């Protein structure tokens, strides 16, 4: 659901939107619940009596992992935060972020980092109200990536 929101903000989805989500349930299980998890996740659950129209009681989640800053040390990175539209404006998002803040401070993390798309005004406003600083605007940081063919090519290149 979050992927749909991030890729097509103003339109309804087409049938082929699933093509860019390659992670399967099997991988999520292996990567999050083995001895050496690559991510952690908190879910927001409502009672049966308040379930969604499709019958879901899990209505939101936050996925995070630990990172490392060579300046400050341990940090916590919030990769995904999402609450189903019908369950917003009830403080669930705020609780999920506060829970991450608690985990971060318990684990002696120096700060919480995350990325937001520049058009996502509701999220930008929410985070700024919580004291977030836009490091892309303030310090000029850009996120870069080597993926797919570029990554394989790099691995094969002669020195």
Partner 1 sequence: MANFILRKAEPKDVSDILRLIKELAKYEEMEEQVILTENDLLEDGFGDHPFYHCIVAEVPKEKGTNGFTVIGFAMYYFTYDPWIGKLLYLEDFYVMKEYRGFGIGSQILKELSHTAVKTRCSSMHFIVAEWNKPSIEFYKRRGASDLSLEEGWRLFKIDKQSLMKMMAEE
Residues annotated as catalytic are 127
| Subset of 83-142 contacting partner 1 (CB under 8 A) | 94-95, 97-98, 101-102, 104-105, 109-119, 127, 130-137, 139-142
Q: Which H or E run contains 139?
A: helix 135-139
What are the C-alpha distances in Å from 124 to residues 30, 45, 90, 132, 133? 32, 25, 18, 9, 10
Query: What minimum distance in Å lies between the beta carbon of 129 and partner 1?
Result: 10
Query: What minimum distance in Å lies between the beta carbon of 138 and partner 1?
Result: 9
Q: Which H or E run contains 2?
A: helix 2-7
Residue 17 or 86: which CB sits closer to partner 1?
17
Residue 53 or 70: which CB sits closer to partner 1?
70
Choose, by CB under 8 A, the member of 1, 13, 67, 121 that binds partner 1.
67
User: Within a 10 A sphere around the Cβ of 94, how many other Cβ atoms?
Assistant: 13
């Amino acid at each position: 659901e979050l992927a749909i929101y991030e890729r097509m903000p103003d339109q309804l989805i087409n049938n082929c939107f699933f093509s860019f989500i390659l992670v399967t349930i099997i991988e999520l299980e292996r990567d999050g619940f083995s001895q050496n998890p690559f991510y952690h996740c908190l879910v927001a659950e409502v009672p049966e009596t308040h379930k969604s129209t499709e019958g879901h009681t899990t209505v939101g989640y936050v996925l995070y992992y630990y990172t490392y800053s060579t300046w400050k040390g341990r940090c916590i990175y919030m990769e995904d935060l999402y609450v189903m539209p019908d369950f917003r404006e009830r403080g669930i998002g705020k609780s999920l972020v506060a829970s991450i803040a608690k985990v971060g401070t318990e684990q002696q993390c120096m700060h919480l980092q995350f990325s937001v798309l520049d058009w996502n005004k509701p999220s930008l406003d929410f985070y700024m109200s919580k004291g977030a600083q836009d490091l892309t605007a303030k310090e000029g940081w850009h996120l870069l990536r080597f993926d797919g063919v570029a990554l394989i090519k790099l691995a094969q290149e002669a020195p």
